Structure 1
Amino acid sequence: MKKIFLLLVLIISFSSCKKDIEKSVTTLKKVKPKPVYRFGYKLDDFVVIQDTIERGESFGAILDRHHVFYPKINQIAGSIKEVFDVRRVRAGKPYTILASKDSVEKAKVFIYKHDKINATIVDFKDSIITVKRHQKPIKTILRTAKGVINSSLSVTMDSLHLSANLTYTIADIYAWTLDFYKLQKGDSFKFMYEERFIDDTIFAGYGDVKSAVFKHKGQDLFAFKYLADSIKGIPEYYDENGNMLRSQFLKSPIKFQYRISSRYNLKRRIAFYGNRIKPHRGTDFAANRGTPILATASGTVTKSERRGGNGNYVKLKHNNTYSTQYLHMKKRKVKKGQYVKQGDVIGWVGMTGNTGGPHVCYRFWKNGKEVDPFKQKLPAAEPLKKSLKPKFLEFMKPLKYQLENKILPVKEPEVIDYIAKK
């Protein structure tokens, strides 16, 4: 009797387990995999073909290989040429074709990938041909980097494992404020910049440098990216006082009372020399002796000396393109190697060297050649309007706080520090 009872218990238990298993299998059958979408298309509806454009391969050749005939190819190319010129597809660029899910596998959609983020989608599966731009969602992370110069900016940036592109960006920001060939050991920098990611993990390049500070020769040179003109939509970099870093050259090295007594003229004839041509490669600004002479743009003093017909003179290097020189000074105020800002007094008007009256001969170099400064297309810079300054100062305040080694608590975007190795 006891054995019969145990047998009945086992049969009931097995029957219950069998029902549970059957129920689980039924439940699994009901759960369907989620459809996969890419570029706005349900991939299950197509045969997905991914490839790379070969050298010498054309848009037409690719579609022809995927069973689209040339009358249709010509129609596609003609209808989308205002948005996407199919002649400009480049070898090495990846592409995706969505083809019909049948034995022919005829192309229906062509997706040209410009880079990791941007693509052009050409849809010709219906009678109406469409073309549109597609951009993958990007996650932006805000990071900070700081370092101390031991040899050069590029070497220090390399120690941060940052791309040369970011080094060039920093150099561009400070192109009118710093001479990077004259950086000193012990100069330091800190900047906040964006990194962009696809799907949270795939690096998609750098975004903006939001703010920066470069300590050079004991001076803190701040830079804050700010959109002052929402109509033009072009942000600029400003210092902590609202002065644009991409500053234009001053029109004159003399601030107030002066007159131009002689202009740049390569065909100038001088009666004293028998009416012979004696080129004048500078612009003379006549003014009273002792009138302050100003640096027309920020830069480093490369020469400060007295020599021959130049008399007392100063030469400044502003960047790798532009240099300026100021001749016939009564007295020089700056020394070789000194860094000066636009508008700083570098000397005073005098009559030293070959001169017939008190003036400063202003000479202007572009790419190592003396040119007429008034005929150059120089970088334009508009000062920040007074009405915008309070708003800018409010915008700049937390960024400056972060640059001064005190990171504000933020959740999005994430802030991560990178410190250069000494």
Structure 2
Amino acid sequence: MDKTRITRLGNRYVIVVVAAMFFVACKEKPQFVKEEDLAIIEHVPEPDIYEFGFNLNDYVVKRDTIKRGDSFGAILERNSIGYPKIYNIVQTAKDTFDIRKLLVGKPYTLLCSKDSLETPKCFIYQPNIEEYVVINLQDSIHAYTSRKPIKYVEKTATGVVTTNISDAFSDQGLSVLLAYKMADEIYAWTIDFRRLQKGDRFKVIYTDKYIDDTIYAGVHNVKAAYMEYNKEPFYAFKFETDTVRKFSDYFDGEAKNLRRAFLKMPVQFSRISSRYNLKRRIAFYGNRIKPHKGTDFAAPIGTPIIATANGTVIKSAYNRGNGNYVKIRHNSTYETQYLHMKKQNVKVGQFVKQGSVIGWVGMTGNTGGPHVCYRFWKNGKQVDPLREKLPEAEPISEKLKAKYFDFIKPVKAQLDNISFKKEKTKKPLSNNLISRIK
């Protein structure tokens, strides 16, 4: 009686009917195989695929995103888990993760049994690309939060300005976010990037961030930079000045801080809609004088509002006039306040860094349009920040200077050894092509 067997022929597996001698049909030249040369092979297992700490080959994997109207219970009920068990799961996991915080659009994964029932064994929710929450649904119900492995890769780049800084970066295939970091975070107080000239050049040492080795998560950090602006060199080195708060700043080759103590405005890409004016008259109030002790910056609802300097939040509250507002004490001399927020992003007692998002533009309180009213105190008196001679940022302390110069020595050598890439030149059009264009 003939037998059906699987055998390997060259680099492929074929199914053959075995007799004393038989013919194997394939795309290549037909050939004969002796029965004694055949062997029944075992199933070759698939390679292990690990994610979230689980071997995905052990489960039926179901992936989806949180839809509007979805709840943790509704998702499990759709996958054949009853409400008594759902209640037990929620009560057990509530100290680790509040299942009410599932956000629309965020991904989740169900690891299910490999049988006809496909019973969920594990629920995994990803609030962002780095973190994930695991809720084990089996007999020993438990929950925990973890992070995907992150890899940081240090890179270098150079470029030459032909039109603007964004084009200079994109011409080299670099992230525009890196250009924004150099313009807004490092050289914002030193170089006017709107006035860059053709031929200005840059070098930068930076770190890119990757999740699970392959998912690009953006520019993590700029270690050092060099700008040649109007033929003048401008070095910038990132150095940690506060090891307790993990605070860093950018300094030049002489240990001078490149930052100023206060930013000029609390929102980017906005316009001043109303200035500080103690003699302002308002028609709505019978043309009476009603002083305006703030500076209004008009911006769309939802625009991030940033702290103009380092400090500690002393108020994060609501009242009828200010709406949602935040007040920050920067030191014994200066305080700032940000009014009419859609929502605050900080709490009282929290330390914030210059540039940190403390809320979003809204229309709460007494306001006729979306904006942030920025108020500025000096020695307890409200003043016009646009007319104040604001202090420079704190310099490196004398006891840290020697450490700083030792730190930047190899970094500066690394920067100096990076060669500028030659500017790309476009090939001239041939006469035939020019005539065709005409």
TM bracket (short chain): 0.5 to 0.7
Q: How does 1:133-152 map to 2 (within 5 A)?
A: 133-135=146-148, 137-152=149-164
The aligned residue for residue 183 of structure 1 is 196
3-state secondary structure, aligned to 1:209 = strand
- Shift in alpha-carbon separation, 1:91–1:405, aligned structure 2, 3 A: same
- In structure 2, distance between residues paired with 1:236 and 1:119: 31
- Shift in alpha-carbon separation, 1:90–1:185, aligned structure 2, 3 A: same
Instruction: Please list the CA deviations of residues 371-399 of structure 1 after superposition, one character each: whole Å capped at 9, or x if unmatched.
Output: 523999x7983321222222221221122
The aligned residue for residue 207 of structure 2 is 194
Contact 2:96-2:144 within 8 A present in 1 as well? yes
Instruction: Please list the CA deviations of residues 70-128 of structure 1 after superposition, one character each: whole Å capped at 9, or x if unmatched.
Output: 34434544554565443343333332111233333222211123444432222232344
Contact 2:111-2:123 within 8 A present in 1 as well? yes
The aligned residue for residue 385 of structure 2 is 373
| Structure 1 residue 403 corresponds to structure 2 residue 415 | yes
Instruction: Please list the CA deviations of residues 185-233 of structure 1 after superposition, one character each: whole Å capped at 9, or x if unmatched.
Output: 3222111112233454443322211111112223212111222322111
| Structure 1 residue 94 corresponds to structure 2 residue 116 | no
3-state secondary structure, aligned to 1:204 = strand
Contact 1:53-1:91 within 8 A present in 2 as well? yes
3-state secondary structure, aligned to 2:410 = helix
3-state secondary structure, aligned to 2:247 = coil
- Shift in alpha-carbon separation, 1:29–1:101, aligned structure 2, 3 A: closer
- Shift in alpha-carbon separation, 1:97–1:160, aligned structure 2, 3 A: same
The aligned residue for residue 278 of structure 2 is 266
- Shift in alpha-carbon separation, 1:131–1:388, aligned structure 2, 3 A: same
Name which of 125, 143, 147 aligns with 2:138: 125
- Shift in alpha-carbon separation, 1:379–1:198, aligned structure 2, 3 A: farther
Give the C-alpha shift of residue 31 in structure 1: 7.7
The aligned residue for residue 209 of structure 1 is 222
- In structure 2, distance between residues paired with 1:198 and 1:232: 26
| Structure 1 residue 392 corresponds to structure 2 residue 411 | no
Residue identity matched to 1:37: Y
3-state secondary structure, aligned to 1:228 = strand
Name which of 94, 117, 124 aligns with 1:104: 117
Instruction: Please list the CA deviations of residues 307-350 of structure 1 after superposition, one character each: whole Å capped at 9, or x if unmatched.
Output: xxxxxxxxxxxxxxxxxxxxxxxxxxxxxxxxxxxxxxxxxxxx
- In structure 2, distance between residues paired with 1:177 and 1:197: 31
Name which of 141, 164, 183 aligns with 1:171: 183
Higher relative contact order (CA 8 A, sep 6+): 1
Q: How does 1:26-65 map to 2 (within 5 A)?
A: 29=42, 35-65=48-78
Structure with larger Rg: 1
Give the C-alpha shift of residue 150 in structure 1: 2.3
Name which of 208, 221, 236 aligns with 1:223: 236
Contact 1:147-1:421 within 8 A present in 2 as well? no
Residue identity matched to 1:94: P
Contact 1:146-1:419 within 8 A present in 2 as well? no
Name which of 371, 377, 394 aligns with 1:382: 394
- In structure 1, distance between residues paired with 2:120 and 2:423: 51
- Shift in alpha-carbon separation, 1:78–1:389, aligned structure 2, 3 A: farther
The aligned residue for residue 258 of structure 1 is none
Contact 1:246-1:379 within 8 A present in 2 as well? no
- In structure 1, distance between residues paired with 2:401 and 2:146: 38
Residue identity matched to 1:205: G
| Structure 1 residue 245 corresponds to structure 2 residue 258 | yes
The aligned residue for residue 352 of structure 2 is none
- Shift in alpha-carbon separation, 1:249–1:95, aligned structure 2, 3 A: closer
Residue identity matched to 1:48: V
Instruction: Structure 1 unaligned segments of length 5 or more: list them.
Output: 1-16, 251-263, 269-276, 282-365, 408-416
RMSD: 3.9
Q: Say which is worse superposed, 120-129 or 151-160, in terms of deviation.
A: 120-129
3-state secondary structure, aligned to 2:261 = coil
Q: TM-score, normalised by structure 1?
A: 0.56
Aligned residues: 283
Give the fraction of aligned pairs with identical amino acids, expressed as a percent. Answer: 44
- In structure 1, distance between residues paired with 2:422 and 2:153: 17
The aligned residue for residue 156 of structure 1 is 168
- In structure 2, distance between residues paired with 1:128 and 1:204: 32
Contact 1:147-1:190 within 8 A present in 2 as well? yes
Instruction: Structure 2 unaligned segments of length 5 or more: list them.
Output: 1-33, 264-275, 281-288, 294-373, 376-381, 426-438
- In structure 2, distance between residues paired with 1:419 and 1:39: 45
Residue identity matched to 1:391: K
Q: How does 1:16-35 map to 2 (within 5 A)?
A: 29=42, 35=48
- Shift in alpha-carbon separation, 1:191–1:125, aligned structure 2, 3 A: same
- In structure 2, distance between residues paired with 1:115 and 1:218: 43
Residue identity matched to 2:219: Y
Q: TM-score, normalised by structure 2?
A: 0.55
- In structure 2, distance between residues paired with 1:181 and 1:267: 34
The structure carrying a bigger helix percent of its residues is: 1
- Shift in alpha-carbon separation, 1:399–1:91, aligned structure 2, 3 A: same
3-state secondary structure, aligned to 2:413 = helix
- In structure 1, distance between residues paired with 2:207 and 2:118: 43
- In structure 1, distance between residues paired with 2:106 and 2:83: 22
Q: How does 1:345-364 map to 2 (within 5 A)?
A: none
